[in-house]
Chains A and B, each alone.
Chain A
Amino acid sequence: MSDQKKDISRRKVIKTGAAGLFTAGVAPMVFTKGAWAQEFRNDPKGGDVVLGFNVPQTGPYSDEGADELRAYTLAVKHLNGEGDGGMLNTMQPSNLKGNGILGQKVTYVTGDTQTKSDAARDSARRMIERDGALIITGGSSSGVAVAVQALCQEMGTIFMAGLTHSNDTTGKDKKRYGFRHFFNAYMSGAALAPVLEDEYGNDRRAYHLTADYNWGWTQQESIQNATEALGWETEKNVLTPVGAGDFSQYITPILNSGADVVVLNHYGKDMVNSLTQAIQFGLRDRQANGKNIEIIVPLFSRLMAQGAGENIKGILGTSNWNWSLQNAGSAAFVKSFGAEYGFPPSQAAHTCYVQTLLYADACERAGTLYPPEVIKALEGHKFDGMGNGPTEYRAEDHQCFKDVLVVRGNQNPTSQFDLLEVVQEVPRSQVEYDASIFGGELGPYEV
């Protein structure tokens, strides 16, 4: 009863379609549902390898989602040997030959997460159950990443996380089938703290505005721990809803709170709004305790900087990657992305591109698409030439360890994209932590 016949001719589909309500446009969707999982779900059996790109196309993180999708289509091109190859040429070690994955052509399907757990799981299920996606990748929110990762574990489908910065993704909620290349809140705190000490001293009072979900919470906690270790005090932490739009009611109380540092644990359009409003309220022109009030945005991206415009100047934060980096991998990626779309990629695009290549490479090394073997090939894998220097996928929690960038909003940008200057590349050793501190269990290889 389960697997309906799939060999519907185009003509027949059109005929049926014309008869039904709203069917007219369905015809082009030729479904190749993978045959029944004798071995594993969605085994292409020599056909095309289908990747499922699940990104926010609507909602507060849609800018990131659009950029992620650009990077994914570019990665698919490069994997199939089209275009200039991008990071395929700089990746070390690399087993990718530009002939798809294991000689099979790579295609993709897309879905909209809407930055909602339910919607994201729905679209992931559609891609797995109907479209035969072999992996799910993407996303720009940790709430979604955790929800989709759990689904993928259940389904036995590998999940290559996109932009997700919460400690939970590879901490308390880590899964055997989930992998994250992006850095996390703990690393942001560890990297940012010494720079904050240099710039703002040891005697500060911080006021946190925090996005009310797992990413916001863990980032706030990590920054609070890191700054309190410097001797700072934490005045207050206020939770704000995601997609609030108007933050003025949260910003006015800061003015008289006695705090002299404001930490905005926001991302995407939320961060653009809260930062812009904070500046409009004149926070940075004021003084408290005899010091200038400073604003910190622990997780920064160029897309947000673009949205916030002038307001971003001089503000400190951290970033996974920035297009201005001068290593070979970054240069190759920026070049092919720029040639394709006419502007440089964001860090969200970078991490998604890298994740796709890493998955493909792991399949080549494992010599199979069978997920447990691919997982073993990714675990503990060390690589270089992907824009972040030497990087390791730690086997214990599937978190990538690499250098972290501390960045500042550029005071004198030379172009509309040159918005962030890299203050420091904090070495991996300084941001590393023990895998057991966040708890959680990976779960089994076979599901």
Chain B
Amino acid sequence: MFSIPKKDAITFLLFALVVLTMPIWLSPFGASYPGLLQKFAIYALLAVGYNILFGLTGYLSFGHAAFLGVGSYAAVWSFKLLSMNPILALACAMIFSGIFALAIGYVSLRRSGIYFSILTLAFAQMSYKLAYSVLSPITHGENGLQLTLQDPRTIDLMFMERGVSLPTSSLFGIPMNGYEGFYFCAVILLIGFFIAQKIASSPFGMMLKGIKSNEDRMNYTGFNTKPYMLTAFVISGMYAGIAGGLLAVTDPLAGAERMQWTASGELVLMTILGGVGTLVGPVIGAWIIKYFENIFSAWNESILHNFFAFLPDNIEGFVVLISSKFVGEGWHLTLGSMFVLVVVFLPGGIMEGVRRISSWFLRRKDPTKDQEVVDPENMPKPSSEKGE
């Protein structure tokens, strides 16, 4: 059950090493603080899960933020009603987002291609609007769902007295809001990554890839593709739900804006930026986008002045004037131009860039190894666009 091909095992170990040492290697990037590290792990998990759907089957869902939101709400309600235990909260998040994904997937998967995308988008926007309006007794609308001192917390209060301050989520006494919270998220991410690897290399995964390359042909050969699609959709939705649950575990607040279509769009960007269909690509995409959103957006002119202090005064002023448009509130501009460049020159995302560079090195060493880079699983497939 735990055996995976050797190549995958190496990938997994490297990935684990990179993730677990994040607090060290991110510190020169100014990103080594619990709040952002947790986000890195959580959004990586989200991207890994999204890739099971988009990467393996080629079905582009524009509604995954809805599952993220459902997971968050379920987790916060589990904190409020039952216990501050994160495992219980994640279980709730997984169950509810799974049910939700089953319902949305059942309807949306009746169509494929652009119609599927539009359906998921419609459902997600519907959930978002519902969370704001009629469901506000459950979601607390724009205010966001928060913990209060008067929450029932039935399981916790059987064992302990109600405290004077708001409780925080903790696993056997380990608080979930600092570095410990990051390691908790990281472990969940690694489990998720491992499962995704297993899925990709399983017969079920082969089936999904078959659907991506040509769904009609799969149907003609006698496979009913719908149950496979639905399973992939629900698994992917559960990943998103767990990611949403983790967001609530590390910071117990759930807001409806997590469900907005921009959040789904961001997820698509992450995947495309990193490399569709690869396991690591979407994770890298997620990290880049979160890094931009949290660090790049906080740069202001005084930081730029410091940075360009070595230039002569008048040149410095000019350089700062130009570059200040691209940092701080202009971070979207930088991200957007980067995205355009990646899509134009590296259609396979950053992972394709990595592959090109490594194949260039390999070719120089040993021409026969050249064949290895043409890995059908990892190459961007023109057929995936035409397939629908």
The number of residues on chain A lying at the interface, defined by a beta carbon within 8 Å of a beta carbon of chain B, is: 54
Interface size class of B (residues with CB under 8 A): 35 or more
**Residues of A contacting B348 with CB < 8 Å?**
none
Please report the C-alpha to C-alpha distance between residue A7 and residue B33 in the assembled complex, in whole angstroms.
Answer: 16
The residue of chain A having its C-beta at the shortest distance from the C-beta of B350 within the complex is A21
Instruction: Say which residue of A22, A25, A118, A153 sits within 8 Å of B307 (CB atoms).
Output: A25
A184 in contact (CB, < 8 A) = no
Known: A1-B23, A1-B179. A146 touches B32 (CB 8 A): no
Are the C-beta atoms of B146 and A441 separated by less than 8 Å? no
Instruction: Say which residue of B24, B36, B146, B164 sits within 8 Å of A443 (CB atoms).
Output: B164
A27 in contact (CB, < 8 A) = yes
Are the C-beta atoms of A112 and B299 separated by less than 8 Å? no
A437 in contact (CB, < 8 A) = no
Please report the C-alpha to C-alpha distance between residue A437 and residue B32 in the assembled complex, in whole angstroms.
Answer: 44
Q: How many residue pairs bridge A and B at CB < 8 Å?
A: 132
Please report the C-alpha to C-alpha distance between residue A122 and residue B291 in the assembled complex, in whole angstroms.
Answer: 12
**Residues of A contacting B253 with CB < 8 Å?**
117-118, 121, 147, 150-151
**Residues of A contacting B33 with CB < 8 Å?**
33, 125-126, 129-130
The residue of chain B having its C-beta at the shortest distance from the C-beta of A17 within the complex is B28
Q: What 1/0 mask marks residues of chain A from 99 to 129 whose CB sits below 8 Å from any chain B CB?
A: 0000000000111100011110111011001
The residue of chain A having its C-beta at the shortest distance from the C-beta of B31 within the complex is A130
**Residues of A contacting B149 with CB < 8 Å?**
441, 443
Chain B interface mostly: helix
Q: Which of A26, A27, A58 has the most CB of B within 10 A?
A: A26
B225 in contact (CB, < 8 A) = no
Are the C-beta atoms of B146 and A147 separated by less than 8 Å? yes
Q: What 1/0 mask marks residues of chain A from 22 to 66 whose CB sits below 8 Å from any chain B CB?
A: 110111110101000000000000000000000001100010000
Are the C-beta atoms of B298 and A118 separated by less than 8 Å? no
**Residues of A contacting B288 with CB < 8 Å?**
21-22
Are the C-beta atoms of A118 and B255 separated by less than 8 Å? yes
Smallest distance from the beta carbon of B345 to chain A beta carbons, Å?
16
B212 in contact (CB, < 8 A) = no
A154 in contact (CB, < 8 A) = yes
Are the C-beta atoms of B294 and A143 separated by less than 8 Å? no
Are the C-beta atoms of B329 and A57 separated by less than 8 Å? yes
Known: A109-B298, A143-B144. A28 touches B29 (CB 8 A): no
Q: Which of A31, A130, A212 has the most CB of B within 10 A?
A: A130
Q: Which 5 A-B pairs have the closest CB atoms?
A: A213-B142, A125-B35, A130-B33, A28-B306, A129-B33
Q: What are 26 pairs between A and B in contact, CB < 8 Å? A: A4-B23, A4-B27, A8-B28, A25-B327, A26-B28, A28-B304, A57-B328, A62-B329, A110-B300, A111-B298, A117-B253, A119-B293, A125-B33, A125-B34, A125-B35, A129-B33, A129-B34, A129-B35, A130-B30, A150-B166, A153-B165, A154-B166, A168-B143, A212-B141, A213-B143, A242-B142
Contacts A25-B327, A125-B34, A129-B35 known; 5 new A-B pairs at CB < 8 A: A17-B28, A22-B291, A130-B33, A153-B165, A213-B142
